[in-house]
Amino acid sequence: MHIRKFLIVLILAVLVYSANFWGTSIYILDEAKNASCAMEMYQRGDLTVPTFNGELRTDKPPLHYYFMIMAYRVLGINPFSARLFSVIAGVLTVIVVFAYTRKFIGESIAFFSALAMIASLQLSIQFHLAVPDPYLILLMTLSFFLFYDGFQFGNKTGMLLFYAVVGLAFLTKGLIAIVLPGLVILLYLLWQKELRLKTFRQLRLAEGIVLFVLIAVPWYAAVGIATEGAWLEGFFLKHNVSRFTSTMEGHRGFPLAPFAIVIGGLLPFSVFIIQSVVFAWKKRMHQPFLLYCLLTGLVIAGFFCFSRTILPSYPAPALPFFAIVIGCYLHNVFITSGNQKRAIVASLALYVVLMLIIPIAVYVALDQEAAMRSLKYLSVAFIVLPAGALAALYFYLTAKQHHSLYSMAASWMITGLFFFYWCYPQVDKQNPVTQSLHHFSSGNRTIAYYGAFNPAYVFAFRGPFEKLSTAENVADYFQRNPSGLLITYKKYVEELQQVTQMRIVFQQKDLFEKQETVILSVISDR
């Protein structure tokens, strides 16, 4: 392997994926709950039962908690520690894609595939978050490559490692780690006409299942025993089955939403995704790895088309495989042959239009949030995108194809750096948790919550606080703690005022959400 291209990929991945990952608070809902859950497990010395604010949390299995706990132990409880291994997972994912794509289909294609991933702002954001998805993306990507290596090239060690990695993925997000590889493998074997008894021996199923069980099952058994089945019921029935069959937490999409997420997530190079898919299909007989990547991406995105709950992170494991499909197209058509010039010019022209819209859209989005209106100037950071798009079109028309691709990639990487070092920190400072923390710093005030609250407070306070279930509990709380503070949402204030006379110490709408955070104290606290 030429070390130069690998070093370029490695340096760019580290530069982009680690950009200021320590510089913003743990505020986003999923980050707050996951980072806080790991924090509470660490503080209790409990590696079995996940809790959030002292209550059982059944949302996710523990693998990402364990990595956060390791970081907390060495580096303390802070955003750096919570996100560190997400960043590492992102860099490793790019390395895995580069290494296996180079092995199966060539170094130049591997380079452009990795470039497509690093230029993706969605992937960069994903690998900045203290959530399980970075770990899942890494493990799913590696597992699919290990299977292909084991099946297509008879790598017995690779085949066994496939089951081990799937076991780890099962400890990351549960059933999806079995369902998606199972569907991809079944369809691939059907396409290759390999669905026969001899193939099952080649898959080493018996040994693989034993290895999977040894890795994945012990913790599930332990948490089932420790919670008398409550965690297993909550996770498998609510957060697996119910999320797929019904809309949860308002995250309802439309039937083709996962494919829209894939296209948006792989900008800038997804402007060539239609040509790339067609190209991969035409090459299916000569490049089975390309077909395998196309099939993997389509199955993952297609599977979530049937889910009644959809989030941008759901089809994210498909992005590395579509990146490979696009990377192959860029190498073979954009760089090597010079064919399809009209199609490429049309795509680049469309790309210019889209990039001109983005700074305007950012300006409008910031204007819609009262707390963000003073930050509308941040939209200027996104002017790099139309500038890069115009440069890409110019370079292509002047037969400088490499420069065209690099202009597209560089403009998104630079925008990503602006986003993480400048834009997002400014936005983060306006969140209601950060804005309200000074109210808790005066004296040794007790804290409780009623109804529901912004989960970022748990991480901000570095520990759980009291839950009050009824308005009468609130009245009793303030009798016991006349200088105490109560965190809740605006929708609960009216019912509380009927029991206890309180004043609003702080009130602000949660960023890009409907609810408003409210902090209350008793009137006598004046």
pLDDT per residue over 409-440, tens digit each? 999 999 999 999 999 999 999 999 999 999 98
Q: How many CB atoms lie within 10 A of CB 210?
A: 12
The C-alpha atoms of residue 79 and residue 39 are separated, in whole angstroms, by 11
Confirm whether 234 is domain-assigned.
yes
Confirm whether 189 is domain-assigned.
yes
What letter represents residue 26's amino acid? I
The domain that contains 505 carries what CATH number?
3.40.190
Looking at the structure of the chain, the number of domains it has is 3
First to last CA, the chain: 70
Q: Of 319, 339, 359, which one is at a domain's C-terminal end?
A: 339
Model pTM greater than 0.75?
A: yes
String of b and e for 242-271 (b: at least 16 CB within 10 Å)? ebbeeeeeeeebeeebbbebbbebbbbbbb
Q: Of 381, 413, 430, which one is at a domain's C-terminal end?
A: 430
477 neighbors 468 (Cβ within 8 angstroms): yes
Phi and psi, residue 131, nearest 5°: -135, 170
pLDDT number for residue 300: 97
C-alpha closest to that of 426 among 434, 438, 437, 415: 434
C-alpha closest to that of 489 among 455, 525, 526: 455
The answer on 498 and 368 residing in a single domain is no
Upper half-sphere CA count for residue 476 (Cβ side, 13 Å): 9
The answer on 455 and 439 residing in a single domain is yes
379 neighbors 363 (Cβ within 8 angstroms): yes
Three-class SS state of 477: helix
Range of the domain at 114: 3-247+263-339
pLDDT number for residue 441: 80
Confirm whether 257 is domain-assigned.
no
Q: Is 309 left (phi over 0), alpha (psi -120 to 50) or beta?
A: beta
CA dihedral 30→236→265→274, nearest 10 degrees, is -170
The answer on 305 and 200 residing in a single domain is yes
The answer on 444 and 426 residing in a single domain is no
The answer on 460 and 422 residing in a single domain is no
CB-based contacts of 335: which residues, under 8 Å, 6+ apart? 108, 112, 401, 402, 405
The answer on 422 and 440 residing in a single domain is no
The answer on 488 and 425 residing in a single domain is no
Confirm whether 361 is domain-assigned.
yes
The C-alpha atoms of residue 415 and residue 409 are separated, in whole angstroms, by 10
Q: What is the DSSP string of 276-310?
A: HHHHHHHTTTT-HHHHHHHHHHHHHHHHHTT-SS-
C-alpha closest to that of 119 among 234, 268, 317, 276: 268
As averages over each run of 10 residues, the pLDDT of the chain (526 residues) reads 89 98 96 98 98 96 98 98 98 98 96 98 97 98 97 93 98 96 95 82 92 97 97 89 67 81 96 95 91 97 89 94 97 75 92 97 91 92 98 93 94 98 96 93 84 95 93 92 93 88 92 90 69
- How is residue 441 written in tokens? 């710093």
The C-alpha atoms of residue 398 and residue 403 are separated, in whole angstroms, by 10
The answer on 212 and 123 residing in a single domain is yes
The C-alpha atoms of residue 50 and residue 234 are separated, in whole angstroms, by 12
Confirm whether 492 is domain-assigned.
yes
Residue 268: cis peptide before it, omega within 30 degrees of 0: yes
The C-alpha atoms of residue 483 and residue 478 are separated, in whole angstroms, by 7
The answer on 289 and 161 residing in a single domain is yes
* Vertex 285: Cα angle to 279 and 291 (nearest 5): 60
Q: What is the DSSP string of 332-385?
A: IIIIII---HHHHHHHHHHHHHHHHHHHHHHHHHHHHSGGGGGGGGGGGGGGHH
Confirm whether 321 is domain-assigned.
yes
Q: Is 290 left (phi over 0), alpha (psi -120 to 50) or beta?
A: alpha
The answer on 355 and 456 residing in a single domain is no
Confirm whether 191 is domain-assigned.
yes
Q: Of 339, 374, 401, which one is at a domain's C-terminal end?
A: 339
The widest CA-to-CA distance across the chain, in whole angstroms, is 79
The answer on 218 and 83 residing in a single domain is yes
The answer on 370 and 230 residing in a single domain is no
Q: How many CB atoms lie within 10 A of CB 373?
A: 10
CA distances from 238 to 37, 178, 230, 235, 393 (A): 18, 18, 11, 6, 49
Confirm whether 252 is domain-assigned.
no
The C-alpha atoms of residue 111 and residue 7 are separated, in whole angstroms, by 11
C-alpha closest to that of 324 among 293, 302, 298, 281: 293
